[in-house]
């Protein structure tokens, strides 16, 4: 059973601080890793994806991938109240187009 | 780029009626489309995967005769909820992938279905 694990939270972070979200996955053959943001009552929105070990930065967001340890993380710098949402981690296995989804981490940025 | 639309955005219907939801990729050709359902405060649940011109693949526990999926073109997939009942009330979301690159999925805005 291929699994993606996330801490459900809520994770509470003060405004302006760095929010760190983590995700582990079980399938060592996984190839691509995605972070989606979902506001309450809305559909998921792709923030960024990563496929190579190391860091990938996009604005205030940094995705980190460590395939040896089978974890992927998302850092949000200078957190804003508008970043408050549920963050979903998704992993693409080798064989097909489906994504394996984590249950999501609820992030709350406190002003 | 990579915009997916869904119609309608919300629908209220009486028990026993059928409801059709459309999902369109507006600026790319979607080799594969996915249909998800999400209940309040729960995570996404994949219902089915559809490829253009072929039958959809349903996840275990999803009734294929109740949730009819048609993927007639590379830009359009439809989900029909047949003989809807109150327990079918949920947030239905489609997503699409181009089948290139890294399998990122782009989501439509979702359809909120309420069955009375």
pLDDT digits (tens, 9 = 90+) for B50-65: 988 888 999 999 999 9
Q: Closest-CA residue in chain A for B48? A: A98
Interchain CB distance below 8 Å, A31 and B102: yes
Strand, coil or helix: what is B88?
helix
For A1-111, list the strands marked E by DSSP: 4-6, 11-14, 19-25, 32-38, 45-50, 54-58, 61-66, 71-76, 85-92, 100-101, 105-110
Contacts of A41 in chain B (CB under 8 A): 91
Question: Residue A95: pLDDT above 70?
Answer: no
Q: What's the distance, Cα to Cα, between the start and end of chain B in Å?
A: 37
Contacts of B31 in chain A (CB under 8 A): 97
Rounded to whole angstroms, what are the CA distances from B22 to A3, B69, B94? 30, 10, 9
A2 compared with A19, residue with greater pLDDT: A19
How far B110 CA sits from the closest chain A CA (Å)? 6
Return the pLDDT at B22.
97
What would the mean pLDDT of A81-85 be, rounded to a whole number? 97
What is the DSSP pairing of strand B10-13 with strand B111-115?
Answer: parallel
What is the DSSP pairing of strand B10-13 with strand B57-58?
Answer: unpaired
Question: Residue B72: pLDDT above 90?
Answer: no
CA distance A31 to A91: 7
- Kindly state the tokens that stand for B33: 């489309």
Return the pLDDT at A41.
93
What would the mean pLDDT of B24-40 be, rounded to a whole number? 93
CA distance B75 to A76: 34
Chains A, B: CB pairs < 8 Å = 50
Q: Say which residues have a Cβ less than 8 Å from residue B12's Cβ, sequence separation at least 6.
A: B114, B115, B116
Quick one: three-class SS letters along B52-65?
A: CCCCCEECCCCCCC
Residue from B54, B77, B102 whose CB has the most chain A CBs within 10 Å, to mutate: B102
CA distance A10 to A90: 19
* Of A49, A88, A101, Cβ closest to residue B104: A49
Interchain CB distance below 8 Å, B44 and A44: yes
Return the pLDDT at A96.
65
CA distance A26 to A3: 5
């Amino acid at each position: 059973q291929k699994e993606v694990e996330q801490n459900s939270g809520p994770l509470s972070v003060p405004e302006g601080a760095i929010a760190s979200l983590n995700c582990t996955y079980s399938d060592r053959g996984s190839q691509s890793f995605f972070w989606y943001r979902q506001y309450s009552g809305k559909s998921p929105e792709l923030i960024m994806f990563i496929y190579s070990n190391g860091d990938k930065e996009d604005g205030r967001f940094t995705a980190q991938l460590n395939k040896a340890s089978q974890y992927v993380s998302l850092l949000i710098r200078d957190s804003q109240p508008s970043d408050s949402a549920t963050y979903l981690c998704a992993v693409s296995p080798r064989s097909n187009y489906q994504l394996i989804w984590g249950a999501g981490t609820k992030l709350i940025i406190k002003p | 780029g990579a915009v997916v639309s869904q119609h309608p955005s919300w629908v209220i219907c009486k028990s026993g009626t059928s409801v059709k939801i459309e999902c369109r990729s507006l600026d790319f050709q979607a080799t594969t489309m996915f249909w998800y359902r999400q209940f309040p405060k729960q995570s996404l649940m994949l219902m089915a995967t559809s490829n253009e011109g072929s039958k959809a693949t349903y996840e275990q526990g999803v009734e294929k005769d109740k949730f009819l999926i048609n993927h007639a073109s590379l830009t359009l997939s439809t989900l029909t909820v047949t003989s809807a009942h109150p327990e079918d009330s949920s947030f239905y979301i489609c997503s699409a992938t181009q089948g290139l690159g890294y399998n990122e999925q782009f989501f439509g805005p979702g359809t909120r279905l309420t069955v009375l």
